[in-house]
Amino acid sequence: MITVAPAPAPEAVEEVTTTAPDGRRPMPTALAITLASLTAFSVVVLFFGAFAYGLSGLQEQRSQHQLYAAFRGLLDPASPTAPSIVGSIPSGTPIALLNSPAAGLRNVVVVEGTSPSNLLAGPGHLPNSPLPGQVGQSILMARSTTAGAPFGDITRLRKGDVITVTTGYGTFRFSVEGQLVAGQPLPEISKSGALLTLVTSAGSGWLGRWAGNHLVYVDALLQGRAVASPPGRPTAVSPVEYQGRSDPTAWPFIIFWLQALLVASLAIAWLWTRWGHAQTWLVGAPLIFAILWGLSTEAMRLLPNVY
């Protein structure tokens, strides 16, 4: 008689769990990507806000210290090079020193050019207008809210307040005539006189200052004799130099910094899982900070140049 051995019982199959080591279910990939994207976007926006209203002021102060040292060196009688005051002046060159205690302006260096990039360093001079103290209307622009807000208090100037400007021609004293908004007529100046116009943005009320919803002009007449305007000055400027303009050429640089931020974030995430949290933080945090700084600097060029 043939005995049939019983079939072996099937081995128990170990159940694969879908929970994380700590007992929680892992987050779906799509949701994880969405949350990571929102977090990254929030970090970029918050950093830009901190940069625009705080860190850019530190950057402007550093630029002003460097420009002041350079301009004082040019004014030194022993200097072999005089300040650029004739012909076409290179963009970003320090050309004047501005003072007006009533507006909180003390030894503020003015650079040539009024593009959004120029005005990150302080007040700028519109290149196709005469320099302060020369015959005609000289136009200076600066930001009122961001990048240190050098012209944030020029609306406090009243008729009779004094503004002094020092250039390679000497020191010129201007008396404030008043404030104007776009469309109002300029004060009359003689053919041999000089008018200084400070331009920035302003708003109504406490929140209005942060909105900067309109342009404001402060006009001041020269007290004394103006000097002749030298030949060779520009007769036209780029559209980004005019008041209230932004600079769309910043977009390629913004895209570059965004790509750098993406690559750096992926690299840090990879290191985080393989290298350890502390080491990754020490290396990754300064890198991300530097990229966000470069990104924010370029993004500032998209804001109106007097904001």
pLDDT of 279 reads 85
Cβ neighbors of 227 (< 8 A, separation 6 or more) are 133, 134, 135, 169
Lowest mean pLDDT among 124-133, 221-230, 246-255, 273-282: 273-282
Pairing of strands 124-125, 105-112: parallel
CA atoms of 73 and 88, how far apart (whole Å)? 21
Q: Is the pLDDT confidence value at 16 over 80?
A: no
* The pLDDT of residue 274: 84
191: CATH:
2.40.260.10
Average pLDDT, stretch 205-212?
A: 51
Tokens of 212: 């900067």
In a domain, 181, yes or no: yes
Instruction: Please indicate, yes or no, if residue 37 is contained in any of the structural domains.
Output: no
At 271 the pLDDT is 86
249 inside domain: no
**Structural domain harbouring 90:** 60-75+83-244
- Alpha helices by DSSP H, 21-158: 29-50, 56-75
| pLDDT, tens digit (0-9, with 9 covering 90-100), for 122-176 | 999 999 999 999 999 999 999 999 999 999 999 999 999 999 999 988 999 999 9
Q: What is the pLDDT of residue 208?
A: 47
Give domain status of residue 264, yes or no. Answer: no
Q: With a cut of 50, say whether residue 181 has pLDDT above it.
A: yes
Is the pLDDT at 216 greater than 60? The verdict is: yes
pLDDT at position 48 is 95
Q: pLDDT > 70: what percent of the chain?
A: 82
Number of domains in the chain: 1
Residue 26 lies in a domain: no
Taking 90 as the threshold, does the pLDDT of residue 270 lie above it? no
Domain-embedded: residue 263:
no
The whole-number pLDDT of residue 4 equals 52
Confidence of residue 214 (pLDDT cuts 50, 70, 90): confident
Res. 15 pLDDT band, cuts 50 70 90: very low
Q: Is 268 helix (H, G, I), strand (E, B) or coil?
A: helix
Angle (CA) 255 257 261, round 5°: 115
Residue-level pLDDT at 13? 47
Tens of pLDDT, residue by residue over 190-207, are: 788 899 999 999 865 444
Q: How confident is the model at residue 38 (pLDDT cuts 50, 70, 90)?
A: confident
* Structural domain includes residue 41: no
pLDDT confidence of residue 221: 96
- Alpha-carbon Rg for the chain in angstroms: 29
What pLDDT is stored for residue 28 in this prediction? 60
Return the higher-pLDDT residue of 104 and 191. 104
For residues 270-296, average pLDDT: 89
Q: Is residue 114 part of a domain?
A: yes
